[in-house]
Structure 1
Amino acid sequence: MGIDLHFMDFVILGIILGIVSIYAYFRYREEKHKEEKMLIPNLLSYRDKYIREREMYTKRAEKFKEKMIEVEKEFEKIKERIPDYRWTEEEKEVLRNLKGTEFERTFTVIFQLLGFKVYEPPVYKDHNIDIIIELADNKRICVDFLDYTQRKRINERYIRELIKGKEKYKCDSVWLLTNRFLDDDLEEMIFRYDINLFEFNQLVRFFPSYRLVDDYDENRTRFHNYELLYKETHDEVLRRDLWIKEVEEKIKEIKKKRGEDED
């Protein structure tokens, strides 16, 4: 059975659709008007929220900054106490067994904490030189670290390479640091080439304990952690500053379009 629509049915349907369309249009206008009316209050609400958050992050950043200052003061106290870092028997045993980069890194940091400027050769272990240290009077010293496992490497050719490095990097002297003892023949050869030898006993006598490096590492780790937290929190402050500025500019733009007083 087909649907038989007469002319009046189409008219009624058209009227109904027209009424629905008009209602929908006015509802849309009404909602649009409400939205526009609430736009500035909503923006002001966001601005207040960002201001509160900026204040919160600012206080947090200040606390991290204070922590950084405290840790930095502790670092200065560590440097002041360097003469107190004497070797215990247990620490001496640890020193005897330091190897490779651990031995090198420990005394490199000690040199830095003692106030020396430390440089690395452009080429790794160039002429057997590990680091170059510079004294307050601008004298330069080539330094070679030789742990107890590397003593067999020492021969006249090895020593001549150190002397070549001294000449290449214009150092005033060469220091060879080792955490054990060398044979008398090797010592005699080293002294013949005017190289300053620091064996185990001299390391313990003239240098502070590796505990100094441990305390330094712990202190610097704490400082860098607080520094990272400060930077991240400070970035949040800057981000809120930007958002507040954007919201205020948007409010001015809306008021200008409406012809309202910006005050």
Structure 2
Amino acid sequence: MLRPEVLDYYLRGGERDRLRAGAGRLEFLRTWDVLTRTLPAAPADVLDVGGATGVYAGPLAEAGYRVTVVDPVPEHVSAAAGLPGVEAVVGDARELPAEDASVDAVLLLGPLYHLQERPDRVAAWREAARVVRPGGLVVAATISRFASLFDGFVKGFFRDPAFRPLVEQDLAHGRHGNPDDVPRWFTSAYFHRPEELPGEVADAGLVLRRLVSVESPLWMSPAALADFLDDPALLLDVLREVEEEPSLLGASSHLLTVAARESVGGL
């Protein structure tokens, strides 16, 4: 289900600590903030597709949601299943192990990263549309087309001459891939332009609700973030005000797309 280099990246713990500090911590706090304002009230059934070890599933279960993680990495599934109130199964976003119209919300907070071809991404969107109930929501995360460009300057990756060709490849067509498939800088992925997302949503038969900037450009200021992440109330409050500003979408490392399955009588 996963390309070998992608599976290897996750088996080596590539994402284990990423959301705990710096820009990763901002990503987690902002994603959680958007989810708490977007998902239907608990108790509700949430399918967390690509939910890995349950970094969001665990808090959702604590908040009273009935959560099932679907992930292609068996080790992730074992870890998620050990969380209180969380069920977990091995599966692929393009062929979900769930009945039609069986959940109130679907999270795609990882699968669209690693589906480099548009038909595969639309297939994942369509599966989410199939399993969510009429009126239910699908929330999907994507990486910005410009993430590696900005990240290269923030983290000094451009000092390595192999990094610039990778960035130029990302900018040209969005398909991120490391030389010789060795994941020196993330792993094989697809980086979206914001304007691509409405078309993918529409092709899946869903209705676009919102495009949300997760980190905004602040993810490129690690020193400034350090002053706010221990007590992030002000930071989160201010970022809510600009989270749908179109001119900032491409500068955020991640975007969240909120879509809905049309109810019988319309939305």
TM-score (norm 2): 0.29
Q: Which has the larger radius of gyration?
A: 1
- Greater relative contact order structure (CA < 8 Å, 6+ sep): 1
Query: Which structure has greater helix proportion?
Result: 1
- TM-score, normalised to structure 1's length? 0.29
Greater strand fraction, Structure 1 or Structure 2: 2
